[in-house]
Structure formats: C-alpha cells, structure tokens
Amino acid sequence: MIIYMDLLILENFIVNKFLLYLTAQTVKVKIKQFDITLSAFIGSLYILVMFYDKKGYFISIYFKILLALVMTYITFRKKNLLFNIKTTIIFILYTMLLAGLCVFIEMNKNNNPIEGTAVIYNFSYKKLMLSLMIIYLVINRLLAFIKDRRDSNCYLYDVDIVLRSSKTKVKAFLDTGNELVEPVTNLPVIVVQEDIFKDIDIKDYSNFYIPYKVVNGAGGRLRAIKPECIKIYKEEQIEEKDALIAFSNEKLSDTGDYQALLSRGIL
C-alpha cells in the first residue's frame, strides 16, 4: 500500500480543525483563527508517530488524552483547569462520534443493494466527509464575517468636522468603551486619523493634550484641537455637537471602514 504522507497530514488537519470548531461552538467561546489552526496542525502531525514510534511509547491512551488536552489549551488559551478538562472531554467525545460514524459507513457501504435501486460504485465516503467538513468551515467563517460586518455597520456614523475654512467628512465608529474627555472643559474627544488633515492648515488652532490610558495599562497624551463644531448624521437627522478632535498617527481600521472613533458621551 502506498501512503502519501502530505495528503494524510492534510486530511487529519481538516478533521482536527472541524472537531475543534464543533467544540468551540459547543462551549460558546470565541477563538482566534491562528490558535485553532496551530492546534489542528500539531494534532495532524501526530499521525507520524504511527510510522516512526516502533516501540509504541507515544500511541498509548494516556498520551492521546494528553495530546487532546494540549490541543484544546492551544485553541482556547484558558488557564482554568476545569474548563480545559471539560473542553478536552467534549473534543474526545466528538472524535469518538466521528470515528464511530466512519466505521459504520465503512461496514455498511458494501451491502447488497435493494433490487431496482440505482447504485454508485467506488464512491469515496472519506472524500465526501472531508468535503462536508471543508464546506462547514468555509460557511462558518463566511457567516461570522457577515455577522461582524452587519454589527459593525450599526455603529458607523457619517461625521462632518467643521473648521474655520473647511469641512471634512469622515466615517466614524462608535466605541462604546471609549469615555475619553478633556479634563478641563469636559468635552468629549473624537480620535481621528491625522492623515485626514494632511492638506488642511490647522496650525492656528490652540492645542489640547488629552491624557489617556488603554486596557493593558499603557497610556500617554493625544494632541487635539477644537473645531467650530461637529455634525453627526443619524439616519435622517443631523446633530451638531461641541467636541475636541484628537489626532492618531496610526490607522484606526485595518479594512478602512472608518477613520475616526466616537466616544460614548458624544451621542
């Protein structure tokens, strides 16, 4: 029998990723694509043990359980021991269920057909199951992407930044966790990409320096100016607000969906 090792590793990788996805959806925990991919790849390499571990040290049930525990830990990155044990048990149960299904199909696919029915011979059930797993993974990611885009659009606003001699329109994202205000005037602060104003002269405006701190404890100060006003478009209404514009030299959206962040207090 000829075994193509690369195809064998690829098939195991697909199966592992499929089972880890099912486990994540069962415990309702959001996971990172890099983590689940790394975990599935490490699990797929275990097939090499069957060929190179001649004495069978690493094919015992205890090592397989340990491997499952490592895979679930890499996928979820949780330090809670009970959570890791629970997800490992779920992952193993899904693995056993899939293995039992494969055995059932293999034992019954060569049964004599009922007279008068059409039969397709030499049909690969393994390829069918792998195809279904791939379709599931693709659809799952597609639906997650569509949901994220739909949810994000609910927090996007058109904003006009009115200066003395110009008006700049930007897309702004309402950051519900952002409570940034200027401590003296108590005005809300809108963080805007600095390159939006690269062709606009703002040297005549007084500078404010806004202290800030992020979740991981890092902080600093943002330079800001006070425009004439801010106009926020909400459906068919336009709300005029007083606010400060702080500048960020980094891109705020990787996909370019927005160029500004609204604080919660501005709406």
Distance of CA 84 to the CA centre of its chain: 20
Q: Give the confidence band of 74 by pLDDT, cuts at 50, 70, 90.
A: very high
Distance in angstroms (rounded) separating the CA atoms of residues 144 and 190: 29
List b or e across 42-61, with b for residues whose CB sees 16 or more CB atoms inside 10 angstroms.
ebbebeeeeeeeeeeebeee
Q: Mean pLDDT over residues 252-259, rounded? A: 78
Q: Is 175 a catalytic residue?
A: yes
Q: What is the DSSP letter of 46?
A: G
Of 175, 195, 204, 242, catalytic: 175
**Long-range CB contacts (< 8 A, 24+ apart) of 231-238?**
231/159, 231/160, 231/162, 232/157, 232/158, 232/159, 232/172, 232/262, 232/266, 232/267, 233/157, 233/158, 233/159, 233/160, 234/157, 234/267
Q: Mean pLDDT over residues 209-226, rounded? A: 77
User: Using one digit for the tens of pLDDT, what is the confidence trace for 80-139?
Assistant: 899 999 999 999 998 888 888 777 776 766 554 444 444 444 445 667 677 778 888 888
